[in-house]
Amino acid sequence: MKIDRTRAMWPQIAAAITQRIKDGTYPPGSKIPSVVQIAAEFEVVNSTAQRAMEAVRAEGLTRAEKGMGTFVLTPEERESS
């Protein structure tokens, strides 16, 4: 995905990650790329990637496990949230 640098970047990145979750690129229970990897992919600073990841987590699509990474919630986990 190409980022439109004339608009805020973190919402575009959050939308791309959300789309990947919805289309199965990142299936339920899978670990998604780290903030550093996302930042490198989209050519942004880590704080922009972190903000995008936080937005996806706020949507109830992922969970972060300290020291382990960020994982896509399963349907069961989403229901219990």
**31-65 pLDDT, tens per residue?**
999 999 999 999 999 999 999 999 999 999 999 99
CATH fold of 9-80 reads Arc Repressor Mutant, subunit A (1.10.10)
Residue type, 20: R
Residue type, 25: T
Determine the Cα–Cα distance for residues 60 and 78; give it in Å rounded to an integer: 7
pTM of the model: 0.91
User: pLDDT per residue over 13-31, tens digit each?
Assistant: 999 999 999 999 999 999 9
Residue type, 55: A
Q: Where are the domains of the chain?
A: 9-80
pLDDT of residue 81 exceeding 70, the answer is no
